[in-house]
Amino acid sequence: MSAKEHWETVYGVKAPTEVSWFSPHLHTSLSLIQQVAPRKFSSIIDVGGGESTLAEDLISSGYQDVTVLDIAQTAVDKTKERLDSIANRIRWLVGDITHLRLPDKSYDVWHDRAVFHFLTQPAERRAYVSQVISAVKDGGHVIVATFGPKGPQKCSGLDVIRYDADSLHNEFGVRFRLVQSLEELHQTPFGATQQFLYCYCVLDSRIAASE
């Protein structure tokens, strides 16, 4: 089964509140975005945010240029229906982040909560990082959250990679200047606790990859 087929199935059979990563509000993500991009016209992309509440909260906070990308059309369709007229104020993209063509140097903020840790193959991770370098503006902000060292080893039936701040930053390389890392204990809808690690970096794509 392909990654797209897997996630279409997950979102097709489960309600948004029935997946472990659901949170009514992504307070850590929202706080970081507001910190790095106080200007409400900043261009923000939420990778893997098909059924997340983050885009809705960003719009409610006054942000005017919000894009959501997800691999599952089902997730996007369900969220559009839930948001009703608010959905028209969000740009929606459907595709695999390791293959989809994104516009060059278009985003001030790249946000990803719980996509990168599913990329268990080195080629997938390299493709992801190349996407970030291409799509984020020079000096733009990159916020990526994965399971931390004490987080689950599997999620939604798939293997994941757990990271600490150094190992996650090393996947991205010298073009990404690490500004801040922090841990978050996420309470799942089922009463369990999951450790997430957030890394916030600033991109300088002018730095040669070999440095």
209 found inside a domain: no
CB atoms within 10 A of CB 48: 22
- Exposed (0-12), middle (13-18) or buried (19+): which is 93, by Cβ within 10 Å? middle
Domain count, the chain: 1
Q: Which residues contact 146 (CB under 8 A, 6 or more apart)?
A: 114, 116, 117, 160, 161, 162, 163, 168, 196, 197
Mean pLDDT of 130-156: 97
165 found inside a domain: yes
211 found inside a domain: no
- The percentage of the chain sitting over the pLDDT mark of 70, rounded to a whole number, equals 98
| Structural domain that includes position 9 | 3-203
Average pLDDT value over all residues in the chain: 94
pLDDT value of position 1: 84
- 33 is written with which tokens? 């975005």
190 found inside a domain: yes
Residue carrying structure tokens 């997340």: 52
210 found inside a domain: no
208 found inside a domain: no
Taking only the tens place, the pLDDT of each residue in 63-108 is 999 999 999 999 999 999 999 999 999 999 999 999 999 999 999 9
At 151, which CATH number?
3.40.50.150
